[in-house]
Structures are given as C-alpha cells and as structure tokens.
C-alpha cells in the first residue's frame, strides 16, 4: 500500500489575502505529517502563487482546480497546464461534478484535460461519482463508465500517475454526510480493480464527499481507500490538519477480495 494521499480543494472560497492566513496557520501543523503521508492543497487560481510562496521548501504539494486541454490559445478565462507547471503546481483536479454540472463537461473533455496534465508532469486527480444515492450496482456502472470515458486513451504506465477521487455527488455539499463505509469500500474495490485490469501498478483512489474529523478514521481503515479529498471542512486549517493527522490503519491492497457481484 502506498503512502496515503490527503488533500483539499477549496472550490471558490478564500481570497489570496485569506489564503495567506490559512497557510500561516496550516503549514506548521501539516509539515510534520508529511513524513508519513502525502499532502496537497488546491486553492482557487488567484491564490496559487500564495501556495507557491507559503509552501516553498515544504513537501506539501499544491495545484489547480481545473486545467484546459490545450497548452495555449484563444480560450478566455481558462488556465493551461504549462501555466500551472510554471507556478510549481504538482496536481490538477479534473472532472469534478460541479464542473460537469456548471460547464457541461463530459468524460471526453476530462480525458483531454488528463492528457494535458500528463504532458506537463502534473498529477491529474480525476473525480468520479454517481449523482443519485442508491445501491452499489448502479453506482459502479456510472463510475466505471466515467473511468472508461476519461481514461481509455491513457497508457498503462501513465495510469500509475493518475489519482482517482470517488465523490458521490449526493454526498457533497452543505448538510450532506459521507457515504456508508460498505458502499465506499465496494466502489473503491471496483475502481482499484478497473485500474489494475488495465495495467496500473500504482493505484491511488481517494474518497471525497463530506469528509470530516468524525468520518476520516473509518474511511481510511477501508482497504481500497488510498486517501481523502476534503472539501468544506478544510477551509478551517486546524480542521484540515486534524483530518490529515488521522492514524492510518495498516492494510494491504492485495488482500482485497473480488466483489464484482455486489
């Protein structure tokens, strides 16, 4: 099992000035944790330079919440992979349900963005998840369809560089709660197997969707959960540090059963 990967996307929250204060509070709390886990922060685009300066010399990564498929061109308001790379970004979030909803982004668009991120040495974080709460079977079909639509053109060696974040849409937002651990475990096993069947030797599958201090330990104890993608709870740097400090249960990925019939 690889080191757990724990990160946050702030969405459209925190101005650059507020980001300065967030990093001032967060870095001393997070830095000791980087010895045992990988950490990242995805601020809004105007605050990426704040992350660059605040995290200089640190093992904590940062990146963008989106990336355009093209490296340059007439795309007003968009941000390219070389722009992110030039700022020292290591990650690019792709395919979040809010991008799909607000900007009509498809799996094919996500795939083109993943290709751009990989071209420029960024780690793509592909977000997948079903919109409607229900049984494991239908959720698995939705997620595997998103994986196929977004990752079918990625070579097996490059699949090792892709992080998948499972975020059931119904578990995102104010008042929502994290998915049941049994549901999370089943979907994560499916994602892990899907990636493995296509040649990925390194599979990092994060859970996102109303992660907080009360749910983090149970989620990280699940065998196929390789880390957490934290939303609104992380807007408080102390809460994010508390979640990132959650003890990691020892478990082996090759102990996972095949539960395709679930």
Annotated active-site positions, please? 96, 167
Question: Which residues, in sequence order, are CB contacts of 261 under 8 Å at separation 6+?
Answer: none
Q: C-alpha angle 71/90/146, rounded to 5°?
A: 70
Residue spans of beta strands (DSSP E) within 121-231:
123-128, 163-166, 204-208, 227-230
164: nearest Cα among 183, 192, 142: 192
Residue 61: both structure tokens together: 């990564």
73 vs 77: CA distance, rounded Å: 11
HSE-CB for 171 with a 13 A CA cutoff: 26
Q: C-alpha angle 208/148/157, rounded to 5°?
A: 85
């Amino acid at each position: 099992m690889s080191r757990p990967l724990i990160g946050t996307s702030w969405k459209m929250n925190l101005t650059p000035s507020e980001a300065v204060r967030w990093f001032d509070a967060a870095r001393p709390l997070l830095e000791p944790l980087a010895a045992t886990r990988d950490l990242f922060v995805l601020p809004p685009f105007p605050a990426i330079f704040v992350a660059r300066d605040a995290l200089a010399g640190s093992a904590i990564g940062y990146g963008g919440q989106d990336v355009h498929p093209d490296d340059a061109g007439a795309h007003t308001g968009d941000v390219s992979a070389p722009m992110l790379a030039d700022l020292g970004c290591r990650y690019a979030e792709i395919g979040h349900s809010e991008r799909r909803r607000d900007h009509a982004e498809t799996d094919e668009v996500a795939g083109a963005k993943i290709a751009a991120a990989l071209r420029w040495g960024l780690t793509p974080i592909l977000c997948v998840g079903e919109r409607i709460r229900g049984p494991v079977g239908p959720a698995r079909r939705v997620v595997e369809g998103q994986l196929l639509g977004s990752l079918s053109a990625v070579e097996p060696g490059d699949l090792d560089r892709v992080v998948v974040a499972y975020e059931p849409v119904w578990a995102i937002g104010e008042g929502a709660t994290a998915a049941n651990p049994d549901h999370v475990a089943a979907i994560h096993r499916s994602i892990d197997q899907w990636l493995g069947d296509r040649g990925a030797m390194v599979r990092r599958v994060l859970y996102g969707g109303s992660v907080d201090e009360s749910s983090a330990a149970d989620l990280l104890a699940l065998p196929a959960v390789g880390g957490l993608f934290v939303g609104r709870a992380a807007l408080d740097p102390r809460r994010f540090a508390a979640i990132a400090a959650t003890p990691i249960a020892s478990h082996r990925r090759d102990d996972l059963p095949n539960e395709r019939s679930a």
